[in-house]
Structure 1
Amino acid sequence: MNYPDVSKTISQIEKLVNIPGPSGYAYAAIEYCQNFLKENGVDSTVTHKGGLSVTIEGEDSSKHRFITAHVDTLGAMVKEILPSGRLKMTKIGSFSWNATEGEYCQIHSSNKIFTGTICLHETSGHVYRGNDDIKRDDNHMEVRIDEVTTTQEETEALGISVGDFITFAPRFEHTDSGFVKSRHLDDKVSAAIMLELIVHLQRSDVRLPHTTHFFFSNNEEIGYGGNSNIPEEVVEYIAVDMGALGDGQRSDEYTVSICAKDSSGPYHYYLRQHLVQLCQENDIDYKVDIYPYYGSDASAAISAGHDVKHGLFGAGIESSHAMERTHRRSIEATEALLFAYVKSPLI
């Protein structure tokens, strides 16, 4: 069996990024993952918080592994319906409004999905001189709805309410040069990799050395996606999540990024060394890096008090929390490391 097959994974990424699912509203993404796994003969369980759990028995059931990827994304909610009929927003997750200016969006009301555009209130350069100096913030950014409405009352009559979720168009593209660019690659890349791995393990004769739990979390962007439903037998916890790129970073779009430290502090030293050794032994291109403004499901689990060795690695994602991009080589390297890891003994 040809595994990993990066082309299949990229197809899976495209399907996932096109499923709207900001934190608090990732039900459709979880349902998709559950249905995909069921179609391939894999049982899964939805937790009370809405995450999806899959367990694959290993040779040793006394000590377990726990691996997460998150399907929730950035997004927004309707904060206020303005007198103009437009919408004021509140953010879900951490991002800059500059990264969404001019983006098409959807408003998910209780009875219909409406389309719109995220605009600076003072967008028109023919009317607002110096609008390039206006701060893009909660007070100036709004949603222009694609409906005939010019008042608060007309918008409310459409069925739009405070608290309705707003999702951003992903605009997925896979270029001939191998780049994958889209919103929400954080962390739909990792979720796709994990789906493909689980199905491969189901279909192949690979026997894992340790019972392994795969968890698709749904609240990572707001800090508590993978901090519960961790069995007592778990001794190693891996978050598969994006590598952060930028000035001062070693990570790139062509290798798997292994995190040594983020804003929560260092990751487990010996587990990190084990990941590096697996890359070296299997000729996997990698970079070790530090992400200064970052947290993961693994760090959330540590903060919640779980006694586990925690690690983090993933594909290098350029322009994180904006119009993101990675390369098929980085996806393939991440797949290879995850596969090597689940087959390796505990440290």
Structure 2
Amino acid sequence: MSRPTAALRRVSATATKLPVDTAYLRDVMLELLCIPSPSGRTDAVMQRVGDLLAEMGVELDITRRGVLRATLPGRRKDVNRAVVVHADTIGTMVKRLKENGRLEVMQVGTHSARFAEGAHVTILTDEPDRTYTGTVLPLKSSGHTYGDEIDTFAIGWDEVEVRIDAPVYDVQGLLALGIQVGDFVALDAAPQITPLGYVKSRHLDDKAGLAACLAALKAVTDAGITPPVTARLLVTIGEEVGHGATHGFDSGTAEIVAVDNGVVAPGQQSREESVSVGMMDSTGPHDFHLTRRLLALADEHGIPAVRDVYRVYRSDAAPAVESGVEARTALLGFGLDSSHGHERTHLDGLQHLAELLAVYLQGDLTFADWDVHESGALDDFPSTAVQPTPVEPTEVDRRLSEAERRQAGQA
């Protein structure tokens, strides 16, 4: 029986490159960036994302732990695909109330205190109407007091503190404000769009990706398209701490496309103006067929895309597979410079990401007949593998084999 092979060239005869509402993408991104959502404190941003999906007329629900699932019904109901993106961000949490009226914090998610120094923050107490602003400062922050010591001062979370914008000078003053150990301290995004279309902000990872996903879903729904396969948008809330897409799927989920940042740095191919297709990250390679299908879709529809491999980075696809989801995975990203630092991307790259997602949603599964099943016969398994042609041994090979046999007999 001949096996189905990956369609690496023309793959989407019925899909079209839909217009993306770039004003919507931009406005939604800016709005989401300004809603604090460090991992563990995401209720507010998820409420807003739910409102935006409801405005499109998309059905949605939310899991016990808070992962949001939006469903775009397709013609096939026996199988589905998922686009996964996260709404949580890096941040900090109060570890100790200090005797000087300031806060010791520890990071939520993986990021360096080097990039937190000087950040404006919002302290989120347990009472929603009691929030405070502040600034992350090194313990030695006054040049007029410490002079050159500032240039040699250590970097680390033990070496910074949060100065609160309130007349408070001791622990009792902090308690009077309602601030406690365990309160979240969110790094303010402070977004800015330059005249050349660059977006500078904290938390573009992954609020920019989330905005692109919503813009792609809007493009499909505005066009009145019923996709061939039911699609779900999963918005997760714990990616930055390693357990984002651990649930929310069902046995019919055949493909998972994670949407996150494409790391722009020396040695990387990702660029801010293009879509990045992650071939591999720190947890291993993504699905051979699905990644190349996405590359073929981009090429066919004139969407700028580059391949990349990420050494110290993983996405929502990793916890999904680790939790036992039997699905093909791929990673699409928007190029992001200085990830988890002073982040920057470009509106063009976000538009192209939304365009590629919209094209992808219009097509069938990578292997429509095979991927509908959780398992099947080996002869039917899709493969591009080519069995090597047997090679007759040379005279040198025969002599080496004889010598090895003699040596083994003497041992």
The TM-score normalised by the length of structure 1 is 0.97
How far apart, in 2, do the equivalents of 1:196 and 1:299 lie? 25
Output the CA distance in 2 between the equivalents of 1:275 and 1:120: 45
1:119 to 137, 152, 160: 137
Alignment of 1:273-284 (within 5 A): 273-284=292-303
Shift of 1:188: 0.6
Q: Is the 8 A contact 1:42 1:199 kept in 2?
A: no
C-alpha separation in 1, matches of 2:126 and 2:252: 42
Q: In the TM superposition, what are the counterparts of 1:37-56 in structure 2 within 5 Å?
A: 37-56=53-72
Matches of 1:25 and 1:136, distance apart in 2: 27
CA offsets 1:32-87 (integer angstroms, 9 cap, x no match) = 01112223322211111111101111111222101111111010100000111100
Structural mapping, 1:1-347, within 5 Å: 3-111=19-127, 112-128=130-146, 129-347=148-366
Name the SS of the counterpart of 1:170 in structure 2.
coil
Amino acid at match of 1:41: G
Alpha-carbon distance in structure 2 between the residues aligned to 1:16 and 1:2: 24
Equivalent residue of 1:252, what SS? Answer: coil
Distance in 2, Cα, partners of 1:104 & 1:332: 29
* Paired residues of 1:227 and 1:298 also in contact (CA < 8 A): no
| 1:182–1:323 Cα contact (<8 Å) kept | yes
Percent identity, please.
33
What letter matches 2:358 in structure 1? F
Q: Which structure has the larger Rg over C-alpha atoms?
A: 2
Q: Structure 2: which 5+ residue stretches go unaligned?
A: 1-16, 367-411
Q: Matches of 1:193 and 1:326 in 2, distance apart?
A: 12
Structure 2: how far apart are the matches of 1:140 and 1:189? Answer: 31
CA 2–261 in structure 1, closer or farther in 2 if over 3 Å, else same: closer
Gaps of 5+ in 1: none
- Provide TM-score, normalisation by structure 2: 0.82
SS at match of 2:339: coil
- Say which SS state the counterpart of residue 148 (structure 1) adopts: coil
1:237-258 per-residue CA deviation (whole Å, 9 max, x = no partner) reads 0101110010100111110000
Cα deviation, residue 203, structure 1 = 3.3
Identify the residue that residue 378 of structure 2 maps to in structure 1: none
Structure 1 Cα separation of the partners of residues 34 and 231 of structure 2: 28
Alignment check: 8 A CA contact 1:223 1:300 kept: yes
Q: How far apart are residue 125 of structure 1 and its match?
A: 2.0
RMSD: 1.3
Q: Deviations over 1:116-160 (max 9, x none)?
A: 000001111222242222222121111001111111111111110
Distance in 1, Cα, partners of 2:352 & 2:28: 17
Q: Which moved more, 1:121-130 or 1:80-89?
A: 121-130
Displacement of 1:2: 7.1
- Give the residue type in structure 1 aligned to 2:351: E
Paired positions, count: 347
Q: Which amino acid is the alignment partner of residue 240 of structure 1?
A: V
- Contact 1:14-1:172 at 8 Å conserved across structures: yes
SS in 2 for 1:225: coil
Between 1:139-148 and 1:1-10, the stretch displaced more is 1-10
Per the TM alignment, residue 161 of structure 1 is displaced from its structure 2 partner at its CA by 0.2
**Deviant stretches of 4+, over 6 Å:** none
State which drifts further: 113-122 or 55-64. Answer: 55-64
What does the per-residue CA deviation read over 1:195-232, in whole Å, with 9 as the maximum and x for residues that have no partner? 22323333332121101111111111011111211011
Residue in 1 that maps onto 2:392: none
Give the Å deviation of 1:294.
0.6
Code of the aligned partner of 2:124 = H
Is the 2:39–2:240 contact (alpha carbons within 8 Å) kept by the matching residues of 1? yes
More deviation in 193-202 or 215-224? 193-202
Q: Cα gap change, 1:330/1:225 in structure 2, threshold over 3 Å: closer, same or farther?
A: same
Which residue identity is paired with 2:261? M
